[in-house]
Structure 1
Amino acid sequence: MKFDEIGNVMQRENLIEALNNITWKVSRPRQVVTANLKLAVLPVEKKTPCLVTDKSTLTLTTRSWLNAAKTLEDINLQEDIIQKELPQNTFLWTVSNRLAKKGPKSVPAFLLRVPEGLFQALYEAEFKQTQVGYLTFRNQVYLKVLRGFVANRWFLEKIFGLSPYDFAKGEVEGKAAPKRTASNALDLAEEKQASSLNYLSIDKYLQTTDGENTDKIMPYGAYLQLDELKTKGIQALKIEALDYDLTKRGGINLLMLTTLELMAGYFLMMESVSQEDIDQGRILAQQTALESPYAKDNLKQAQLFLAELAHFAAQVPYANAQKTLDSLAYRLKSPENTPAAKFLLNLGNYTAQTFILNQSKNDRQHPQTVALDTNSYRLLAEALLAGEDYQLILNEEGIIQVKNKLVKHGLQTSSNSALMTELWQNKQVAKALVQNAGFTTLEDVEIHSKAEFEKYFPQFEGLAVVVKNARNLSDEKTMLFRLPPAKETLWNCVQAYLKAGQVPLIEAVIPGSTYRALFFQDELLSVVERLPKSVVGDGHKTLSQLITLKNLTLGASEKATLAVQGWGMDTIIPRGTEVLLRYDATVGTGCRSLEVLDELDSSYVKPLKALAQALKLHDGALDVVIPNIYQPFNPKEAKMLIFLSAHPTTPLEMHENVVFGPQNIAVKILERL
């Protein structure tokens, strides 16, 4: 193995590490099909940087430019989102062999970009003195790598080929012999076109192409005119010689990216291939595409090329190099290990098309959701569909970036200070802040011991009260008493929190409904009435059956609430009768939501905004009690608007999945970013 001048300079100047900084942009065009193997018609046409839909074809493209790990993360995220957005009973056709001729080709396109810093360092270190312009030098380096890929396209077909039949031409089992990769097989006209392509310079390439490239590996630039490759430079290499991986959602696996990276580095540093190598490589690529998936032809040749890559990798500090080499060696150990052969062996009693359809159905029915909170996921989904820029920043913290703005948990921006967020978590401190601004709060007290309970019990004796967590969201231990509880009953509720190492809060209750007001960038987006968990009788089922039917669970609070109402589990509930499982309605204990923003008297908007401003809450939610939302707000009436608590974020689902039909709050947030 011998490095050429570029390889020697990279070794001398310690530039080899830059090969770990290759970046990607991957497009995946796929047909959308029905359960009876017909092309579906997509209801809406879209054309955004990441999503294009056209009749029966859907194309997803990752954000540019990402490393291999981030590219796969983006592919998985896009796949999750689009699977949920597809029309009912339609599925993504997950392989490269199209089901029908209609629409564009259906092979993944890998855009591989060499780090710009590497070009600059090479040019300054050695090649500037040749008097060749930087743009010309850069184009020549890309073309050198491209020639290596064209000469060895057969290797990619051998390793990744997975399209045994050309369904669009009517090929099926029993009527046509399976191929390794029908998507890469060329007809006579395509072979002729490929043989005429010349990659010695960008001028020669432009002279020998009309925009089509049946080599399936070509120079790429996001330009309106092809000849701008010469004046503005090649931006990346476009590789369309790999088939989708049927076993991976999104069709792309890490082995594809790391193999292409390893080969790109090899072709960059090694001596350039000759035109004879390219011509022979094209012949071998056609033979490989057409060969039986079980063929042993050229297996030794592929193993020898892999040995060269391994020798090269031993001198280059590639991440994942050994894992990549081991995976490639496994596929070349036996023909049965290659993707096309494994596909045929796994068919069993299914036809190829039915097998693929079943895989497509499974992908849709069992989404492999990216580890991200629901709010962030919802906002990312709307950003993708709307064509807005986005990226994942810290998944585990729920921090994403949309429209160049950081958002936490799909709602919170940098507008809210960390200090205020910390204060809101202490319900009594938050109440003190709004009291100073002239708003009404409910009487409450924190309990830290039995002695404190004895001290403060007379203050709440004879009152309707609620016991809840003083520091965090309400949970299953929360208990609301519509009638004044006995002292022992109240202590048992308080004691449950103390035993759990939490601080309980006893709070007075007054007549009225509880509402959650959602703010984003100081705008009131939604006001929902929180409705307690309940079941409604049909005159036939017992209470136990109704609870089971709604998949609800009963804790101590639910059982106590039912006992107070006098309902037994075997009681048949009369038709239309609502049975409350809890009196409180909080996120932590489960509740239903009713959107009331349009019903809320407009006079409440101003005081709600003033309440948020008093807390310096620009993004987040306020819990309030309003006795009558239809009665105009009167600032002289203290109990017309009562503050309960503030939250830096809230589940968007609470404001979207509302009674009487869903609404899209994520879109409203996206519009205001």
Structure 2
Amino acid sequence: MRSLHSSHQFGYHNDEHVHVSYSSVEAYARDLKQAVESGQLISPAQLYAEVRLRSSVPLAQGIHYLEFRDLDLNPFVATGIDAQELQFMQDFAWFLLSQPQMTGDIDEQLATAARMNDKIAMQAPTTSSQEVADAMDQMAIWLNQQTITKPQFAAFTAMQDRVLHPEHTPAAKLVAAGAFETVGQQLARTNKQWATDEPYLLPGFTDMEQSTQMLIEDAMRIGLKVDVLDRSDQFIRLTNGEHQELVRAGNETRLDNLVASRLVDNKFVTKQLLGEAGLPVARAMVYHDLESAQRDFATSFRNKSLVIKPNAANVGEGVSLFMVPPTPEEFETAFQFAHRYGDVLVELFVRGTEYRFFVVANHVHAILERVPANVVGDGQHTVAELVAKKNQDPMRGEAHRKPLQQLHLDERELAVLAEQGLTADSVVPRGHQAFLLTNSNISTGGDSYDMTDEVDESYKKLAIKVAKTMGQTISGVDMIIPNLYQPYQADQAGMATVIEANYNPAMFMHLFPYSGKSRRVTRAVLAALFPEMKDL
């Protein structure tokens, strides 16, 4: 048969004595109320009608929306319904609303339609249905009078094909596929793979940044209403009853004020404030012009390992790192590179491993060890081949749409390779790590290793103090730590160095690290925004 769900014999239907009139909204609301009060229905939700009138206020005051029911799921689509089927449903509803208002006994006409529906549902899947063909012809005439889009045309054509060729319907295809149990298991495995292969993608929101996708997913899971206000700007609204919160880019919220965000954007001022608070920072100076920087280079920075970077840029833009002290020519080139983004910070290079602490409301929720973009040699493949191989990881993508970023071999990467005596065509010895960049940003292809359970508690307290000093509720604190297991002691130099604090720290890299345990830091943000939701 064509449809179990839509048939009166096998689908969800009420007893014959349950009658709810559709002659008016008032009649519908009255009959539904009486059916519940008399015990014929347990609740309004037990009315198994093809269309239910729904409202957020008493129905007698008006209809909020229509609920279309008794639709068969398409077993060949992982979501149960595809975009064309949804488009057709929308257009079909508009077509019906455009028709002249029914006259006569509406309830009797609906009863006749129900009998016709049951007749069609009980037909063999490959049987043609003239009644449906006639309805499609009427809809085609209506569509020809409209200005329709390509998706609308494609959706109607696809559904018309099912009417003209019933063997193309999901029911007929399911019958033709063979034993239901075997087919069902095969489809289940395929759909499970679809749903779990890329857990970092939220269907329907994959055009948005990773952190925003995951915040939306967690918000939906805990029952918050989510409204996307601007997809390209990552602006959403979260609602719990009367409580609303606006969020941009995953964790820009009312919890942090504008001054705090501007403050941490200025790396030099950040260092000043942290230093005054007794927190360990690297010695640095900021410069507006090359001449001033060159004078200090000759007297203060020469023969020292340096980091030269923009004073206010993010995601590793314009950064040059010199573990071997730079020549005057190299210093000038690095300065000009950073100067593209504004004032330049010249900072003493600190040896050690870099860690990102994700702080929310005076608690460290995740810690990552960050390693610059790199490839590990196997003694057989070139750097370019190793990059291509590493980029095959489905977790790597572009523009923060996936947890890890694609590796590149552009001018900047080739220059870093040259410093190691390598080119894109070099075959890297087995086990040797060749770096493509010197900065450790995940957004430029770096690798992330979760170390939350490994780092000594004293460094977590240090990160919280950094966030407090900068006046931040949500912060990404970057530190260089030579030995993460040795407790921090403020009177011993070099045990930790605070590099910077970030006002909009990326959350996706904690959710899906390159290696290690996933940390659902998005829930920490939601808990700070909605403290009344105790289950967070």
- Tell me the equivalent position of 1:593: 448
- Tell me the equivalent position of 2:435: 580
Q: Report the residue type matching 1:417 in the other structure.
A: N
Q: Does 1:186 align with 2:19?
A: no
Instruction: Give the counterpart of 2:113 among 277, 281, 302.
Output: 281
The C-alpha deviation readout for 1:517-564, integer Å capped at 9, x for no partner, is 111122211222222223333344444443332233223343333333
Cα distance change, pair 342–496 in 1 and its aligned pair in 2 (3 A): farther
The C-alpha deviation readout for 1:362-383, integer Å capped at 9, x for no partner, is 9758966443221111122233
- Tell me the equivalent position of 1:486: 327
Give, in whole Å, the separation in 1 of the partners of 2:50 and 2:277: 68
- Tell me the equivalent position of 1:21: none
Q: Report the residue type matching 1:505 in the other structure.
A: L
- Tell me the equivalent position of 1:253: 86
Give, in whole Å, the separation in 2 of the partners of 1:537 and 1:295: 65
Cα distance change, pair 275–417 in 1 and its aligned pair in 2 (3 A): closer
Q: Report the residue type matching 1:377 in the other structure.
A: Q
- Tell me the equivalent position of 2:488: 633
Give, in whole Å, the separation in 1 of the partners of 2:91 and 2:307: 58
- Deviation at residue 510 of structure 1 after TM alignment: 2.3
Q: Runs of 5+ in structure 2 lacking a partner?
A: 22-30, 392-406, 530-536
The C-alpha deviation readout for 1:457-495, integer Å capped at 9, x for no partner, is 223211111222222114464221101011112212222
Give, in whole Å, the separation in 1 of the partners of 2:153 and 2:288: 64
Q: Would you say the 8 A contact 1:293–1:335 is kept in 2?
A: no
Give, in whole Å, the separation in 1 of the partners of 2:427 and 2:154: 67
Q: Would you say the 8 A contact 2:211–2:250 is kept in 1?
A: yes
Q: Would you say the 8 A contact 2:450–2:518 is kept in 1?
A: no
Cα distance change, pair 322–462 in 1 and its aligned pair in 2 (3 A): same
- Tell me the equivalent position of 1:495: 336
- Tell me the equivalent position of 2:258: 418
The C-alpha deviation readout for 1:97-155, integer Å capped at 9, x for no partner, is xxxxxxxxxxxxxxxxxxxxxxxxxxxxxxxxxxxxxxxxxxxxxxxxxxxxxxxxxxx
Map 1:334-345 → 2, pairs under 5 A: 337=160, 339-341=162-164, 344-345=167-168
3-state SS of 1:440 partner: coil
TM-score (norm 1): 0.58
TM-score (norm 2): 0.71
Q: Report the residue type matching 2:307 in the other structure.
A: V
Cα distance change, pair 220–557 in 1 and its aligned pair in 2 (3 A): closer
Give, in whole Å, the separation in 2 of the partners of 1:473 and 1:537: 30
- How many matched pairs? 473
Q: Report the residue type matching 2:50 in the other structure.
A: K
3-state SS of 1:253 partner: helix
- Tell me the equivalent position of 1:429: 269
- Deviation at residue 422 of structure 1 after TM alignment: 1.7
- Tell me the equivalent position of 2:353: 513
Cα distance change, pair 338–574 in 1 and its aligned pair in 2 (3 A): closer
- Deviation at residue 618 of structure 1 after TM alignment: 0.8
3-state SS of 2:413 partner: helix
Q: Would you say the 8 A contact 1:447–1:494 is kept in 2?
A: no
Give, in whole Å, the separation in 2 of the partners of 1:335 and 1:656: 40
Instruction: Give the counterpart of 2:50 among 216, 226, 248.
Output: 216
Give, in whole Å, the separation in 2 of the partners of 1:623 and 1:274: 69
The C-alpha deviation readout for 1:348-407, integer Å capped at 9, x for no partner, is 999754999599699758966443221111122233344455443443332332654443
The C-alpha deviation readout for 1:423-459, integer Å capped at 9, x for no partner, is 2212122222223323333233344444334333223
- Tell me the equivalent position of 1:377: 213
3-state SS of 1:517 partner: strand
- Deviation at residue 208 of structure 1 after TM alignment: 9.9
Q: Does 1:473 align with 2:328?
A: no
Cα distance change, pair 496–621 in 1 and its aligned pair in 2 (3 A): same
Instruction: Give the counterpart of 1:647 among 496, 502, 520.
Output: 502
RMSD over aligned Cα atoms: 4.6
Q: Does 1:527 align with 2:348?
A: no
Cα distance change, pair 370–270 in 1 and its aligned pair in 2 (3 A): farther
Give, in whole Å, the separation in 2 of the partners of 1:440 and 1:339: 70
Q: Would you say the 8 A contact 2:476–2:505 is kept in 1?
A: yes
Q: Would you say the 8 A contact 1:543–1:569 is kept in 2?
A: yes
Cα distance change, pair 435–342 in 1 and its aligned pair in 2 (3 A): farther
Q: Does 1:199 align with 2:54?
A: no
The C-alpha deviation readout for 1:549-587, integer Å capped at 9, x for no partner, is 223322334333333333455555443333333333123
Q: Would you say the 8 A contact 2:286–2:311 is kept in 1?
A: yes
Cα distance change, pair 338–514 in 1 and its aligned pair in 2 (3 A): same
The C-alpha deviation readout for 1:265-301, integer Å capped at 9, x for no partner, is 989x865734432332233333444566744347557
Q: Would you say the 8 A contact 1:534–1:581 is kept in 2?
A: yes
Q: Would you say the 8 A contact 1:185–1:290 is kept in 2?
A: yes
Q: Would you say the 8 A contact 2:449–2:516 is kept in 1?
A: no
- Tell me the equivalent position of 2:130: 296
Q: Report the residue type matching 2:256 in the other structure.
A: N
Instruction: Give the counterpart of 1:444 among 278, 284, 294.
Output: 284
Give, in whole Å, the separation in 2 of the partners of 1:578 and 1:619: 34
Cα distance change, pair 368–305 in 1 and its aligned pair in 2 (3 A): closer
Q: Would you say the 8 A contact 1:336–1:342 is kept in 2?
A: no
- Tell me the equivalent position of 2:467: 612
- Tell me the equivalent position of 2:390: 550
The C-alpha deviation readout for 1:586-614, integer Å capped at 9, x for no partner, is 23433222333333232233332222111
Give, in whole Å, the separation in 1 of the partners of 2:385 and 2:447: 20
Give, in whole Å, the separation in 1 of the partners of 2:41 and 2:271: 71
Cα distance change, pair 342–237 in 1 and its aligned pair in 2 (3 A): same
Give, in whole Å, the separation in 2 of the partners of 1:599 and 1:633: 14
Identity across matched positions, percent: 21
